[in-house]
Amino acid sequence: MPSPAETNAVAKLKADHDRVEALFKGLKEAGEDETERLGVQVCNMIKIHMALEEELFYPALRGKPEAREDKLDEGLIEHDSGKLIINDVLADPGQERAAPKLQVLGEQMVHHHKEEEEEGGIFEQAEKAGIDLNALGEAMQKREAELKAELNEGDLPPSEMNFVDVDATPE
Ligand SMILES: [Fe+2]
Ligand SMILES: [Fe+2]
């Protein structure tokens, strides 16, 4: 039986944040081959984490009186910003500029994690909104297992943007 800490949705997402940040720390010291391997690993880890948030966590909070819609939108736009780099790196993980791209991605993710975790952020909003965080955590575990199985069989499809229009050009 998983312990409550593992099924609680907020605890699970925070644990993911810690794992992602530890991998980015490792990337700072990594050589070329290691950069490629760790880069693919961290990009896929973030993709799965964002999918769990976008498919389950954010929708559970959206519309609740305790939810700040502007914070939810900001979070999803930060996801889009990260996905631009993630899709680019995963399309060609051995590319010449993978290391600086991953460096920027790491900085963006540290900022994004802070926004989700800080006072007034979406995690605290969810706790105050009375959402059943254990049921949500269980649903997330199930979805995570599906996505990991999909990843084991090959690559996950490129991440889709929420709001950022990648084809937009100024008039
Ligand atoms: Fe997020
Ligand atoms: Fe997150």
pLDDT digits (tens, 9 = 90+) for 71-115: 999 999 999 999 999 999 999 999 999 999 999 999 999 999 999
* Structure confidence at residue 5 as a pLDDT band (50, 70, 90): low
* pLDDT for res 95: 96
Q: 104: which 2 tokens?
A: 């920027």
For residue 136, CA distances in Å to 9, 34, 123, 131 come to 6, 35, 13, 8
* pLDDT for res 70: 95
Query: Is pLDDT above 70 for 6?
Result: no
CA of 112 to the centre of ligand 1 (A): 6
CA of 171 to the centre of ligand 1 (A): 32
CA of 66 to the centre of ligand 1 (A): 18
Distance CA 36, CA 49 (A): 20
CA of 171 to the centre of ligand 2 (A): 35
The pair phi, psi for residue 155, each rounded to 5°, is -85, 150
Cβ proximity of 164 and 84 under 8 Å: yes
CA of 50 to the centre of ligand 2 (A): 7
Distance CA 96, CA 74 (A): 31
* pLDDT for res 44: 98
Any idea where the domains of the chain sit in the sequence? 4-152
Between 32 and 16, residue with greater pLDDT: 16
Query: Is pLDDT above 80 for 27?
Result: yes
Cβ proximity of 165 and 74 under 8 Å: no
CA of 63 to the centre of ligand 1 (A): 18
Distance CA 5, CA 112 (A): 22
CA of 44 to the centre of ligand 2 (A): 14
